[in-house]
């Protein structure tokens, strides 16, 4: 996937800010064949009530808001991002159960309030497959 630097920075800042809870949001961009280019990160509140430390949930209303925003920019929702406080940047079983085929999933690992790593995973019929992240843009 290709991602604009400003969008990536927003995701990483948000992951540190919301520690020790999982942060989440949607990736707005375009499909180019099987690949995606992400231009914006759309923040959504984590509406999970009981397990915010190791679960995230995006409400249908926020999803619709993101779609509307994407449309206004000539983009689409192409993926999801979230953080794993004190856990590695690999998808959990829970993440796989909720993933959409064709979407990209950026997972940020945050330890003691600092981002330590992040990776992007594409969800296809065989499950999650890691994809390379290429950052573009100056800011």
Note whether 101 and 123 are within 8 A (CB): yes
Q: Which is nearer to Zn ion, 50 or 139 (CB)?
A: 50
Q: Which residue in the shown chain puts its C-beta closest to Zn ion?
A: 95
Note whether 118 and 109 are within 8 A (CB): yes
Binding interface with Zn ion (CB under 5 A): 92, 95
**Rounded to the nearest whole angstrom, what is the least distance from the CB of residue 137 to Zn ion in the complex?**
27
Whether the upstream peptide bond of residue 102 has omega within 30° of 0, thus cis, is: no
- Pick from 39, 26, 20: which is nearest to 82 by CA? 26
**Rounded to the nearest whole angstrom, what is the least distance from the CB of residue 68 to Zn ion in the complex?**
25
Q: Which is nearer to Zn ion, 48 or 92 (CB)?
A: 92
Q: Which is nearer to Zn ion, 40 or 109 (CB)?
A: 109
**Rounded to the nearest whole angstrom, what is the least distance from the CB of residue 95 to Zn ion in the complex?**
4
Return the bridge partners of 127, or none: 124
């Amino acid at each position: 996937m290709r991602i604009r630097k400003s969008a990536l920075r927003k995701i990483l800042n948000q992951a540190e800010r919301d520690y020790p809870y999982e942060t989440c949001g949607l990736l707005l961009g375009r499909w180019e064949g099987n690949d995606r280019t992400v231009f914006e990160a759309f923040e959504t509140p984590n509406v999970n009530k009981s397990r915010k430390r190791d679960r995230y949930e995006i409400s249908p209303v926020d999803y619709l808001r993101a779609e509307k925003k994407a449309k206004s920019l000539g983009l689409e929702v192409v993926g999801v991002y979230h953080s794993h406080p004190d856990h590695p940047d690999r998808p959990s079983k829970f993440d796989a159960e909720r993933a959409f085929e064709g979407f990209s999933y950026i997972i940020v690992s945050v330890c003691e309030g600092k981002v330590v790593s992040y990776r992007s995973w594409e969800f296809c019929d065989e499950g999650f497959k890691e994809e390379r992240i290429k950052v573009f843009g100056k800011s």
